[in-house]
Structure 1
Amino acid sequence: MAKRLATEYVFAKLQLSHEELSKFILFMEGQQLQLHVMVLENGNQQLVVQDTIGKEEIRLTFERNAHTYVCELTCRIVKPKLTNAMRKAISVFKGTATVNRIYSHYTMIYHYKEGFVRKIVEQTSNSERIIFEHKDILNNLERTYESRLVEREIRLIYTAIDELLDLRNQTTQQKELHDIDQRLSALQHKLFVFEA
């Protein structure tokens, strides 16, 4: 199995409430890492998270915005304990991130949205290949179902138009012709709406 050389957070964003920030701090302490919390201007907070063995650290600055704390981050991590802690934090606290997991001959690019991996791409020096992509199956099924209902409705409108045209060809009275023309016009408008 290939050994990971580094993990690079090209972009990561966490948006937490005050209560969630407290849980985040407890979560990081539970990962057996050293943690220093500093309160900055305007209530902003900076967390210095350090791997105790390799002395690698990352700084997470949470800027206070009304009722939330927002942390946007780019960094490169080598130590496994710190790497795993950040991966779990992005997942547990529903973060958004683009993460490069760098190996000697390729890079795996993970795209997170709201804590879930939505796409994984394998990148080599001369190619890219999608390994995984989240498909929203339920919404796709709903759209397919709705499009089939529209197709059915269009068929029914065409049948009604054909019947009215046959009736119009057989009718000689002016009032009936006028009524048929109005119904045909309404069906033509419905057809235009559905086909648009």
Structure 2
Amino acid sequence: MAQRLATEFVKARLLLPESQMSRFMQHIQDPRIHYRVRVLDGGSREIVLEDEDGEEVRLPFDRRRNLFVCELSFRLVNPRLTHLIRQLFVAFKGDGMVRRIYPGFVMLDFYAEGSVRRIIELTPGASRLVFEHRDQIPELEYRFASTDIEYEIACIRMQVDRLLDRRLAARNIEEIEQIDELLRKEAFRLFRFEA
């Protein structure tokens, strides 16, 4: 498996209601990562995370009414600090792009509301889509609401009724046998649709 060289958070964004800021701080529970909180003018905050190897990242939270907005772009090398930031990003429904840099290729992860929506692999000569989230609910709702099969069943039943009326009015054996054959075919179609 390829060794990750670095991770870049590009135009990443976290929106936290004021009530979730204490929960955010509780998520930073790693004995090898230390944090400092600076309270700035207007109630804004800056959280500095530093791992035991000295790598640090600054998370600036601008206060806008009852909301803390953190917009950030930075590069991390330490896997422990990277993992913590990714956990925070997912837990607090962050948006943005994360570039995972490996020898010879880059993976672009596009996040929306804390979930990966698309992953693209970039190599020196090409790019390819690795994953894309598709919302299946509208398609399933359409299929559930679709009445095509019910309509087809109703048409088959009407055809069977017409054939039975013709059979009752039939005068000779050949005509009755032809109608019986048609009834067998319609009965088989009806069985398939109702199953």
Q: By the TM > 0.5 criterion, same fold? A: yes
The question of whether the paired residues in 2 share the 8 Å contact of 1:12 and 1:72 is answered with: yes
For residue 134 of structure 2, what is the amino acid of its counterpart?
Answer: K
Q: Which residue of 2 aligns with 1:131?
A: 130
Query: How far does residue 32 in structure 1 lie from its aligned partner after superposition?
Result: 3.8
Structure 2, unmatched stretches of 5+, are 152-195
| 4+ residue segments displaced more than 2 Å | 29-32, 140-146
Q: Which residue of 2 aligns with 1:3?
A: 3
Query: How far does residue 143 in structure 1 lie from its aligned partner after superposition?
Result: 4.2
1:14 and 1:96 map into 2 onto residues whose CA distance is 7
2:95 and 2:31 map into 1 onto residues whose CA distance is 21
1:42 aligns with 2:63: no
Query: How far does residue 116 in structure 1 lie from its aligned partner after superposition?
Result: 0.7
2:69 and 2:32 map into 1 onto residues whose CA distance is 24
Q: Which residue of 1 aligns with 2:114?
A: 115
Q: Which residue of 1 aligns with 2:20?
A: 20
For residue 19 of structure 2, what is the amino acid of its counterpart?
Answer: E
1:84 aligns with 2:83: yes
The question of whether the paired residues in 2 share the 8 Å contact of 1:31 and 1:85 is answered with: no
The question of whether the paired residues in 2 share the 8 Å contact of 1:34 and 1:50 is answered with: yes
Alignment of 1:133-148 (within 5 A): 133-143=132-142, 148=146
The question of whether the paired residues in 2 share the 8 Å contact of 1:36 and 1:48 is answered with: yes
Query: How far does residue 136 in structure 1 lie from its aligned partner after superposition?
Result: 0.4
SS in 2 for 1:28: coil
For residue 49 of structure 1, what is the amino acid of its counterpart?
Answer: L
Q: Which residue of 2 aligns with 1:66?
A: 65
1:43 and 1:35 map into 2 onto residues whose CA distance is 18
Q: Which moves more between the two structures, 30-39 or 82-91? A: 30-39
The question of whether the paired residues in 2 share the 8 Å contact of 1:90 and 1:97 is answered with: no
The question of whether the paired residues in 2 share the 8 Å contact of 1:7 and 1:77 is answered with: yes
1:33 and 1:90 map into 2 onto residues whose CA distance is 17
Structure 1, unmatched stretches of 5+, are 154-196
TM-score, normalised by the number of residues in structure 2: 0.72
Q: Which residue of 1 aligns with 2:188?
A: none
TM-score, normalised by the number of residues in structure 1: 0.72
1:71 and 1:136 map into 2 onto residues whose CA distance is 28
Deviations 1:71-128 (A, max 9, x none): 0000000001100001111111111120000001100110111111111111111111
Alignment of 1:180-191 (within 5 A): none
1:115 and 1:145 map into 2 onto residues whose CA distance is 29
Q: Which residue of 2 aligns with 1:185?
A: none
Deviations 1:138-193 (A, max 9, x none): 122224566x569x99xxxxxxxxxxxxxxxxxxxxxxxxxxxxxxxxxxxxxxxx
